[in-house]
């Protein structure tokens, strides 16, 4: 298990964890204004009076389940943290202390665990239990955040109440993860209930702000029809951490996959990365921005090479220190 000294270092690195759990009347009132009819207005005030501090981590998804290699490559590439997926639990034989020791040896803290989907049509106790169990692993491995997406109903049409139902279920999961000292973030995603910006609004406004934050994926938000720069201001009181990601359009007639879009390294797509990071600085965001790439777009490159391409863009084109 993590030592007291390492736990203190971790809490310093987590940065925004305490912000999510704020329960003051003022904080709740700000969230209510987001979910009111005048939600598009912005006060222009930063989340905190402190200067912004964006910490860049990297997601292990690109390595396709080989998380030990991902940890080694991401650490050697110079990123400051890592997001892992739930397959890491089996890879480390459900021994969080072993994962923590491996991460510590590479000086790479775990920022978040991708816990999978929340299915509103499944047994709620089973759904809550699954994610609470994953949150326990996160806590014991020294991580602050649990990420969940949602599973869009497959056997029936979507109803107006589905977004509210999802919000209520997310809140119940968040209560359980909060008991373990782990903050819950909802990840907007293509192909889910939270695909478009209006749907993200409905879901977030159906959650209790004390227990659920938004893990904003700027590429999915863009592809879903939203403006991620405006989303930073809109959700400024609910941002837990972010996926910094880029996406390009594809000609479906020429693409072998027949997809209309593809995720790419930073700076090679259409997302306004510079504008997003400037917005984070403007609101005084202090926390994690996880660079993510689902898979390497060019098979001649390795996952680590793609990670270095994104790092180079952030450093040389935008002037950030990784």
Residue 200 resides in a domain = yes
Q: Averaged over 168-187, what is the pLDDT?
A: 98
Residue 23 pLDDT greater than 90, yes or no: no
Task: State residue 193's pLDDT score.
Answer: 97
Pairing of strands 110-119, 261-264: unpaired
Tell me the per-residue pLDDT of 24-40, one tens digit each, with 9 for 90 and over.
323 444 555 678 643 43
Residue 278 pLDDT greater than 90, yes or no: yes
Task: State residue 253's pLDDT score.
Answer: 63
Residue 103 exposure: Cα atoms within 13 Å on the Cβ side: 30
Residue 322 resides in a domain = no
Task: State residue 42's pLDDT score.
Answer: 37
Residues 6+ apart with CB under 8 A from 279: 229, 232, 233
H helix count then E strand count, the chain: 13, 10
Task: State residue 292's pLDDT score.
Answer: 98
Q: Categorize the per-residue pLDDT at 322 as very low, low, confident or very high, splitting at 50, 70 and 90.
A: very high
The total number of structural domains that make up the chain: 1
Pairing of strands 239-244, 286-291: parallel
Residues in the chain: 322
Tell me the per-residue pLDDT of 112-168, one tens digit each, with 9 for 90 and over.
999 999 999 999 999 999 999 999 999 999 999 999 999 999 889 999 899 999 999
Rounded Cα gap, residues 322 and 319, in angstroms = 10
**208 or 46, greater pLDDT:** 208
CA dihedral sign of residues 189, 192, 196, 197 = negative
Rounded Cα gap, residues 286 and 165, in angstroms = 31
Domain of 264 in residue numbering reads as: 4-317
Rounded Cα gap, residues 318 and 246, in angstroms = 15
What's the DSSP call for residue 42?
Answer: -
Check which CATH number belongs to the domain holding 300 and give it.
Answer: 3.20.20.150
Q: Averaged over 261-279, what is the pLDDT?
A: 98
Residue 13 pLDDT greater than 50, yes or no: no
State pTM to two decimals: 0.88
**Residue 70, token pair as written in the block:** 């991902």
Alpha helix positions (H), 106-154: 124-140
Residue 269 resides in a domain = yes
- Asked if 15 contacts 288 with a C-beta cutoff of 8 angstroms, the reply is yes
Task: State residue 283's pLDDT score.
Answer: 97
Tell me the per-residue pLDDT of 284-299, one tens digit each, with 9 for 90 and over.
999 999 999 999 999 9
Q: Across the chain, what does the average pLDDT equal? A: 88
Q: Categorize the per-residue pLDDT at 41 as very low, low, confident or very high, splitting at 50, 70 and 90.
A: very low
CA angle in degrees (0–180, nearest 5) for 285-242-311: 95
Task: State residue 258's pLDDT score.
Answer: 75
Short-list 240, 227, 216, CA closest to 292 = 216
**44 or 319, greater pLDDT:** 319
Residue 145 resides in a domain = yes
């Amino acid at each position: 298990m993590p030592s007291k000294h390492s736990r203190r270092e971790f809490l310093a690195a987590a940065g925004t964890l305490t912000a999510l759990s704020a329960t003051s009347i003022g904080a709740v009132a700000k969230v209510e204004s987001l979910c009111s009819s005048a939600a598009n207005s912005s006060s222009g005030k930063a989340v905190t009076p402190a200067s912004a501090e964006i910490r860049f981590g990297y997601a292990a998804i690109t390595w396709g389940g080989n998380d030990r290699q991902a940890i080694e490559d991401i650490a050697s590439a110079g990123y400051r943290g890592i997001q892992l997926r739930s397959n890491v639990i089996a890879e480390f034989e459900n021994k969080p202390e072993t994962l923590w020791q491996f991460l510590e040896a590479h000086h790479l803290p775990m920022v978040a665990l991708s816990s999978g989907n929340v299915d509103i049509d499944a047994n709620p106790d089973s759904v809550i239990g699954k994610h609470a169990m994953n949150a326990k692993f996160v806590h014991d491995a020294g991580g602050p955040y649990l990420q969940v997406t949602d599973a869009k109903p497959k056997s029936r049409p979507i109803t107006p109440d589905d977004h509210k139902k999802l919000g209520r279920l997310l809140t119940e999961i968040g209560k359980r993860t909060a008991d373990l000292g782990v903050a819950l973030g909802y990840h907007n995603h293509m192909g889910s209930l939270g695909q478009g910006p209006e749907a993200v609004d409905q879901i977030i406004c159906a959650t209790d702000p004390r227990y659920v934050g938004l893990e904003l994926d700027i590429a999915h938000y863009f592809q879903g029809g939203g403006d991620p720069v405006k989303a930073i201001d809109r959700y400024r009181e609910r941002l837990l951490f972010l996926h910094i990601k880029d996406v390009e359009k594809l000609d479906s007639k020429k693409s072998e996959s027949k997809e209309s879009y593809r995720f790419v390294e930073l700076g090679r797509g259409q997302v306004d990365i510079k504008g997003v990071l400037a917005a984070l600085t403007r609101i005084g965001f202090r926390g994690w921005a996880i660079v993510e790439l689902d898979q390497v777009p060019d098979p001649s490159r390795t996952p680590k090479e793609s990670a270095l391409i994104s790092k180079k863009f952030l450093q040389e084109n935008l002037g950030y220190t990784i």
